[in-house]
């Protein structure tokens, strides 16, 4: 009973103390203001009490006279940052000053950062836990702090003041610890939000270049102001520029010419003024570390490097990087002729080259120019579509056309017809002769067929990228539309260049075999690679859809064959009865319509299931990887593995990329590589880009790539390394186990 009475008395005492000394409004407590020339300074506590074991917010309140200003933590070219130096009781801890968003102050050639008007600089105090019992009465302590500042207008006046607050310390929160004063909270809202896990990095040369993922930032719909929290890093007279590169925010500013050492950590504040004309701002602050910038950002900077002189202006030799890009584009196009991606149309190219040898120089040159025009125009057209779609926000890459089942179905039909033509089973009439007559061996002087061959070669061959092509495409997609299309046009010129050389250099044409009867047999022989291409495209189509869709497409091929048969009958019966020709025409339209309709239906079957990665079954995912060694690529799993210090090999591939499949067959799927990955503890991740996948597209962009294949090796604690596009087991071993 005695203990109960004692506790009751103590409790009543606490209530009386709170009612007596803690205002019901929970207003802040402010020290006595110190009045000095042109300024008034005081110390403000968010609450009129402290609680043991908790933290409390305080603010240094500075009210300068009109027209005068104080300075931010980075004062700029001149000035001194305000300070608050605490004299605290034992075991009290205080954090760094928290600064609201500053303003840029330009005066007589100097650029400074500071504040006009009333300014609050915040600070957090950690109160140590109490050693007394919870039923003890509150104690009072005195908190002392010395404030220092520099006040400037046309002249500058340094100032200092001793400030103090006497506050009770509770061992439990008071009974009526209601909401904090709204006026204090309104001032605190002017502080920037801190982002602790921003994956930001910077590099330093003549310019400071900072990149931060957009996903780590709040939505930014207008260019923000940039303030660096450390002085003497950049030239303050040069306003930082802000741009968006892929999924990164890129900040660029001229470095202070007197900077000696780069900071290991650099605070960055982004401020976006409110659109409602209030004093509030939407601001964030984060810390960047010195390190490598993302590959896509580096590619953008590389495209611009050399284009800016020390004054940030274009020099006279601004075309030098464009020249390099055009050279890379030309080399990449030439090498593409030897890539496995060209194999599906290799028979058409060989046939065109052989047939050109039996023609006159003028006709051979016409065929060469027509073939080159077909290739170049196709390259430019595909690039224009790519740029247009990316402009509207879709993340697609090179070879996007073969990610569409309907386009694959169209190629199946087209190549099947060409195969039948090469085999001699059908003869295209005059209405279609412009498209494929010379391929079938008729009207060999007609240049339109060479143009068509160039178009087909481009459509089938471009999904994969050759060496040098990746760099050229990365440069092109970071430039203006005109320059981008020029780069792709030169790339097409590289693909067409061997045929052009044979067409215009008589000595090369003389090396080709002489015409003869063997040409007919040779032409029929070259039909079989076309049929194999049809089989390959049917397999790709099955991977994009399902078995039922493939069966429908095969029915469509039958209807297409019926259409060609009826077309041939109609040509042979040109002098026949009108009623017969009408019936043949009607059946021809019906069979053609059925063939087209079946292809459209087949291309759309199960499309939602395929295009949504979340709805894929695990068994379907695992079809694209080797069960004994691989796992499906996942960005989160990759990040976790790298954070754990694991070695990872990433393979970005697609079923329609023949180069990818050959590399997997001759290198990645061999026992040698499997054993190497196992003994060296290398995780193997495989991303399937057969259908459009935004995550894989984003990963490709990180390495300035717009197509597959892409092979990346992550060794522990080292930057990722991109492997060549043609692999062998020895190449992989050299990267994983360098000598």
pLDDT in tens, 32-57: 999 999 999 999 998 888 988 888 99
CB under 8 Å, gap of 24 or more: what pairs does 478-484 form?
478/245, 478/299, 478/300, 478/303, 479/303, 481/387, 483/322, 484/383, 484/387
Give the pLDDT score at 316. 33
Question: Which one, of 702, 706, 607, 688, lies nearest residue 396 by Cα?
Answer: 706
Give the integer Cα–Cα distance in Å for 374 and 577: 41
Give the integer Cα–Cα distance in Å for 476 and 326: 9
Six token digits for residue 30: 């402010």
Q: Between residues 413 and 276, which one has the greater pLDDT?
A: 413
Mean pLDDT, residues 201-205: 87
The CATH H-level superfamily of 617-736 is: Glutaredoxin (3.40.30.10)
Give the integer Cα–Cα distance in Å for 603 and 622: 23
Does 441 have pLDDT greater than 80? no
Does 575 have pLDDT greater than 60? no
Prior bond to 194 cis, omega within 30? no
- Kindly tell me the burial class for residue 571, based on how many C-beta atoms sit within 10 Å of its own C-beta (0-12, 13-18, 19 or more): middle
Q: pTM (2 decimals)?
A: 0.43
From its phi and psi, is residue 681 left (phi > 0), alpha (psi between -120 and 50) or beta?
Answer: left
- pLDDT band for position 317 (cuts 50, 70, 90): very low
- Compute how many other C-beta atoms are within 10 angstroms of the C-beta atom of residue 640: 11
- Of the listed ranges 98-107, 235-244, 375-384, 457-466, the least confidently predicted one is 457-466
- pLDDT band for position 618 (cuts 50, 70, 90): very low
The answer to whether 673 and 667 are in contact (CB under 8 A) is: yes
Same topology, domains 194-293 and 617-736? Answer is: no
Phi, psi of 670 (to 5 degrees): -75, 155
pLDDT digits (tens, 9 = 90+) for 627-664: 446 788 888 888 888 888 889 999 998 877 777 888 88
The residue extents of the domains of the chain are: 2-191, 194-293, 322-407+431-517, 617-736
What are the residues facing 241 on neighbouring strands? Answer: 252
Dump strand ranges (E) for 80-224. Answer: 83-87, 93-94, 103-107, 110-116, 119-126, 139-152, 156-170, 193-194, 201-204, 207-213
CATH architecture of structural domain 194-293: Sandwich (2.60)
* Average pLDDT of every residue of the chain: 76
3-class DSSP assignment, residue 42:
strand
- Contacting residues for 22 by C-beta, under 8 A, at least 6 apart: 48, 49, 174, 176
Which numeric CATH code is attached to 2-191? 2.60.40.1250
- Of the listed ranges 64-73, 187-196, 567-576, the least confidently predicted one is 567-576
Mean pLDDT, residues 160-178: 82
3-class DSSP assignment, residue 607:
helix
3-class DSSP assignment, residue 278:
coil
The answer to whether 56 and 45 are in contact (CB under 8 A) is: yes
DSSP 287-337: EEEESPPPHHHHHHHHHHTTTS-TTSS--TTTTHHHHHHHHHHHHHHHHHT
Six token digits for residue 138: 């509150």
- Contacting residues for 338 by C-beta, under 8 A, at least 6 apart: 466
- pLDDT band for position 512 (cuts 50, 70, 90): low
């Amino acid at each position: 009973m005695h203990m109960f009475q004692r506790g009751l008395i103590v409790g009543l005492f606490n209530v009386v103390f709170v009612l007596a000394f803690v205002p019901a409004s929970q207003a802040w407590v402010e020290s006595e203001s110190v009045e000095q020339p042109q300024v008034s300074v005081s110390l403000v506590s968010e609450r009129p009490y402290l609680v043991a074991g908790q933290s409390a917010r305080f603010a240094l309140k500075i009210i300068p006279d009109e027209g005068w200003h104080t300075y931010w933590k980075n004062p700029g070219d001149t000035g001194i940052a305000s300070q608050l130096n605490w004299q605290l009781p034992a075991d009290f801890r205080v954090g760094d000053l928290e600064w609201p968003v500053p303003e840029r102050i330009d005066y007589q050639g100097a650029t400074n950062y500071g504040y006009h008007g009333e300014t609050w600089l915040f600070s957090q105090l950690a109160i140590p836990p109490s050693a007394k019992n919870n039923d003890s009465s509150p104690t009072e302590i005195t908190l002392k702090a010395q404030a220092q500042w520099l006040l400037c207008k046309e002249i500058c006046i340094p100032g200092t003041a001793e400030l103090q607050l006497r506050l009770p310390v509770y061992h439990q929160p008071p009974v009526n610890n209601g909401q904090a004063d709204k006026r204090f909270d309104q001032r605190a809202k002017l502080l920037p939000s801190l982002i602790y896990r921003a994956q930001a990095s910077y590099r330093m040369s003549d310019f400071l270049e900072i990149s931060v993922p957009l996903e780590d930032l709040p939505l930014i719909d207008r260019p923000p102001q940039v303030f660096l929290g450390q002085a003497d890093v950049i030239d303050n007279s040069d306003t930082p520029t802000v741009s968006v590169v892929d999924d990164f925010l890129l900040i660029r500013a001229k470095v202070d010419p007197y900077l000696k050492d780069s900071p290991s950590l650099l605070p960055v504040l982004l401020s976006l003024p409110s659109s409602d004309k209030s004093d509030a701002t939407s601001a964030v602050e984060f810390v960047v570390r010195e390190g490598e910038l993302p590959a896509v950002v580096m590619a953008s900077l590389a495209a611009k490097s050399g284009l800016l002189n020390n004054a940030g202006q274009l020099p006279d030799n601004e075309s030098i990087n464009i020249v390099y890009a055009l050279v890379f584009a030309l080399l990449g196009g030439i090498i593409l002729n030897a890539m496995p991606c060209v194999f599906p149309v290799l028979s058409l190219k060989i046939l065109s080259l052989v047939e050109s040898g039996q023609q006159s120089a003028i006709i051979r040159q016409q065929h060469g120019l027509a073939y080159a025009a077909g290739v170049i125009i196709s390259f430019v057209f595909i690039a224009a579509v790519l740029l247009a779609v990316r402009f509207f926000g879709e993340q697609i890459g090179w070879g996007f056309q073969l990610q569409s089942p309907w386009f694959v179905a169209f190629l199946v039909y087209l190549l099947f017809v060409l195969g039948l033509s090469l085999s001699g089973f059908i003869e295209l009439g005059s209405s279609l002769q412009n498209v494929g007559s010379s391929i079938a061996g008729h009207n060999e002087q007609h240049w339109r067929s060479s143009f068509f061959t160039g178009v087909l070669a481009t459509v089938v061959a471009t999904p994969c990228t050759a060496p040098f092509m990746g760099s050229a495409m990365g440069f092109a997609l970071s430039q203006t539309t005109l320059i981008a299309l020029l780069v792709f046009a030169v790339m097409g010129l590289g693909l067409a260049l061997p045929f052009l050389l044979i067409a215009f250099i008589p000595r090369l044409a003389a090396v080709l075999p002489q015409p003869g009867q063997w040409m007919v047999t040779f032409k029929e022989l070259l039909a079989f690679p076309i049929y194999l291409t049809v089989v390959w495209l049917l397999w790709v189509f099955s991977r994009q859809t399902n078995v039922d869709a493939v069966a429908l497409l095969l029915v469509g091929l039958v209807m297409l064959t019926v259409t060609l048969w009826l077309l041939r009958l109609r040509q042979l019966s040109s002098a026949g009865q009108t009623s017969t020709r009408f019936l043949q025409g009607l059946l021809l339209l019906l069979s053609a319509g059925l063939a087209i309709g079946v292809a459209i239906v087949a291309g759309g079957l199960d499309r939602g299931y395929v295009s949504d990665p979340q709805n894929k079954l695990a068994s379907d995912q695992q079809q694209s990887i080797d069960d004994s060694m691989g796992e499906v690529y996942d960005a989160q799993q990759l990040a976790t593995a790298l954070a754990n210090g694991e070695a990872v090999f990433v393979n970005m591939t697609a079923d329609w990329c023949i180069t990818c499949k050959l590399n997997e067959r001759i290198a990645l799927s061999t026992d040698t590589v499997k054993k190497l990955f196992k003994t060296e503890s290398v995780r193997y991740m495989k991303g399937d880009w057969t259908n459009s996948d935004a995550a894989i597209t984003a990963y490709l962009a990180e390495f300035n790539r717009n197509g597959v294949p892409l092979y990346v090796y992550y060794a522990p604690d080292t930057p990722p390394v991109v492997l060549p596009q043609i692999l062998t087991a020895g190449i992989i071993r050299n990267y994983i186990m360098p000598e």
